[in-house]
């Protein structure tokens, strides 16, 4: 059986209907790695094994650019003996949800720093990170870990070991709103970044997170989707399940919340628009469905992913919150190579665009459904540049 047939054989949209109540309760209602079977957790973590070097490249590019800005800014109060090498080696790196620690190791090795901390809730991932040589692994909920991370950083600062700190958060912040009971954007910044800024540490923050497509939102608020040659009703079914499980608001053009029945009604479009066989969905819900079905691995993985909203991350709101605590942000939108490849693959298999503008029938390009934010509390004339366009 070829790859396409084997994937559609599972009938992704029907998989949720076929799952047992026990599975639904285990993976969706609870949505915590601590409640997963250990073998499933190991399988889930294997998806991210050794992906860190690729992720580290983007972070390091931002860091190097920032270091150059710092050194060129005459307003900075640098120690006369602080050359580029010592600047890099005195940077502590905190990886939030960094799985096996491969990203953290890659960044530390590039910087020549030995001051790294991994915060990770998965026991198998933590064991792998320790085996990989990560000295400081905090196996904990991200919010609870702050009470250990921050004092450790302040102690390193007091001893003169570190003068800067970098937080790296990659595809983890969107999870915390449903998986970490104490998490809010404001509380995260309060417990992690604010004490370090107050101590005088040069503080950097990097996040790369999935989000609602920037390029689509500039064109439409309704997207018509055809996926995996599935029947329209199957796509609408799984979209409704996603919306209901994650309490995603389904808004029409006037901003009214749609009911399940209203969601499936015909959208007024131009006479030449062909929507037959396509599910018409509000933008955020449409992208959420694409994330969950295009990234499909198996039923257990799908159900686990139903415990988080990938489009919950709001880049503009994060940038504003960072600004309130003295951080200046640069922001950009992108499509990851992995998502682009999967998206293009599915388009080639169905022989037409996956997504079209529901109002005019025009094909939508691959969604720019990831945001990068890099923030620093060091004032330079380049701070605050928005690279979104």
* Residue 343: count of CB within 10 angstroms of its CB: 19
Print the domain residue range for 137.
53-210
Residue in the block written with tokens 């922001």: 331
Do residues 158 and 240 share a domain? no
Q: Is residue 363 part of a domain?
A: no
Q: Is residue 353 part of a domain?
A: no
Q: Is residue 107 part of a domain?
A: yes
pLDDT at 10: 42
Specify the range with the lowest mean pLDDT, choosing from 6-15, 60-69, 174-183. 6-15
Do residues 63 and 171 share a domain? yes
Residues across the chain: 389
Q: Is residue 121 part of a domain?
A: yes
What residues contact residue 13 under an 8 Å CB cut-off, 6+ apart?
Answer: 230, 234, 235, 237, 238, 293
pLDDT at 20: 40
Q: How many domains does the chain have?
A: 2
Do residues 172 and 293 share a domain? no
What confidence tier does 90 reach under pLDDT thresholds 50, 70, 90?
very high
Specify the range with the lowest mean pLDDT, choosing from 90-94, 97-101, 346-350. 346-350
User: Is pLDDT at 75 greater than 50 in this prediction?
Assistant: no
What residues contact residue 250 under an 8 Å CB cut-off, 6+ apart?
Answer: 243, 257, 258, 263, 281, 282, 285
Helical H segments across the chain, by residue range: 3-9, 12-18, 21-24, 38-46, 52-72, 84-89, 102-111, 123-131, 142-158, 173-179, 185-199, 214-217, 232-246, 260-263, 283-294, 299-305, 315-324, 337-350
Q: Which of 312, 333, 349 is the last residue before a domain boundary?
A: 312
Do residues 24 and 137 share a domain? no
Q: What Cα–Cα distance (Å) separates residue 123 from each residue in 114, 143, 168, 307?
A: 23, 17, 20, 19
Q: What is residue 201's DSSP assignment? A: -
Do residues 162 and 254 share a domain? no
For residues 290 and 310, the answer to whether their CB atoms sit within 8 Å is no
Half-sphere exposure of 60 (CA within 13 A, CB side): 18
Q: Is residue 369 part of a domain?
A: no
* Residue 257: count of CB within 10 angstroms of its CB: 11
* Residue 253: count of CB within 10 angstroms of its CB: 13
**Percent of the chain residues topping a pLDDT of 70:** 75
Distance CA 193, CA 183 (A): 14
pLDDT at 49: 52
Do residues 172 and 263 share a domain? no
Specify the range with the lowest mean pLDDT, choosing from 196-205, 211-220, 267-276. 267-276
pLDDT at 28: 36
Q: Is residue 71 part of a domain?
A: yes
Do residues 192 and 275 share a domain? no
What residues contact residue 88 under an 8 Å CB cut-off, 6+ apart?
Answer: 67, 111, 112, 113
Q: Is residue 330 part of a domain?
A: no
Do residues 174 and 226 share a domain? no
- Average of per-residue pLDDT across 170-179: 92
Do residues 139 and 279 share a domain? no
Specify the range with the lowest mean pLDDT, choosing from 13-27, 83-97, 136-150, 372-386. 13-27
Residue in the block written with tokens 């109002």: 359
Q: Which of 312, 327, 345 is the last residue before a domain boundary?
A: 312
Average pLDDT, the chain: 80
Q: In sequence order, what are the beta bridge partners of 295?
A: none
Do residues 37 and 72 share a domain? no
Do residues 165 and 62 share a domain? yes
Do residues 171 and 34 share a domain? no
Which residue did the predictor score with more confidence, 138 or 255? 138
Strand 164-170 with 202-210, pairing: parallel
Q: Is residue 300 part of a domain?
A: yes
Long-range contacts of 267-274 (CB under 8 A, 24+ apart): 267/222, 267/224, 267/358, 267/359, 269/358, 269/359, 269/360, 269/361, 270/359, 270/360, 270/361, 272/361, 273/358, 273/359, 273/360, 273/361, 274/361
Q: Which of 312, 346, 381 is the last residue before a domain boundary?
A: 312
Q: What is the CATH number of the domain that holds 174?
A: 3.40.50
């Amino acid at each position: 059986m070829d790859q396409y047939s084997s994937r559609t054989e599972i009938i992704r949209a029907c998989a949720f209907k076929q799952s047992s109540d026990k599975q639904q309760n285990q993976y969706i209602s609870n949505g915590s790695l601590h409640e997963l079977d250990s073998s499933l957790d190991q399988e889930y973590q294997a998806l991210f094994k050794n992906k860190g070097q690729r992720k580290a490249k983007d972070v390091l590019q931002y860091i190097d650019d920032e270091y150059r800005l710092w050194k060129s800014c005459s307003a900075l109060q640098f120690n006369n003996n602080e050359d580029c090498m010592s600047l890099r080696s005195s940077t502590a790196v905190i990886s939030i949800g960094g799985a096996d620690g491969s990203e953290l190791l890659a960044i530390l090795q590039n910087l020549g720093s030995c001051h790294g901390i991994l915060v990770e809730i998965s026991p198998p991932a933590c064991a792998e990170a320790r085996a990989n040589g990560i000295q400081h692994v905090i196996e904990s909920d991200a919010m609870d870990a702050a009470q250990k991370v921050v004092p450790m950083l302040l102690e390193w600062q007091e001893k003169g070991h570190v003068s800067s700190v970098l937080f790296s958060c990659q595809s983890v912040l969107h999870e915390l709103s449903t998986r970490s009971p104490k998490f809010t954007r404001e509380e995260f910044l309060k417990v992690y970044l604010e004490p370090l800024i107050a101590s005088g540490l040069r503080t950097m923050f990097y996040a790369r997170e999935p989000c609602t497509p920037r390029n689509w939102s500039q064109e439409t608020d309704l997207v018509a989707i055809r996926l995996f040659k599935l029947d329209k009703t199957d796509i609408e079914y799984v979209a409704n399940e996603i919306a209901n499980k994650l309490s995603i608001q389904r808004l029409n053009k006037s901003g009214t919340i749609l009911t399940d029945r209203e969601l499936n009604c015909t959208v007024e479009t131009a006479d030449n628009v062909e929507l037959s066989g396509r599910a018409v969905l509000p933008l955020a819900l449409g992208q959420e469905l694409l994330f969950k079905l295009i990234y499909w691995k198996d039923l257990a993985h799908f159900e686990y992913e139903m415990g988080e909203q990938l489009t919950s991350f709001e880049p503009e709101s994060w940038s504003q919150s960072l600004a309130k605590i003295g951080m200046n942000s640069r922001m950009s939108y992108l499509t990851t190579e992995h998502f682009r490849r999967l998206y293009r693959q599915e388009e080639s298999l169905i022989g037409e665009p996956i997504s079209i503008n529901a109002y005019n029938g025009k094909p939508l390009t691959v969604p720019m459904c990831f945001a990068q934010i890099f923030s620093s509390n060091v004032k330079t004339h380049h701070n605050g540049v928005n690279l979104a366009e």
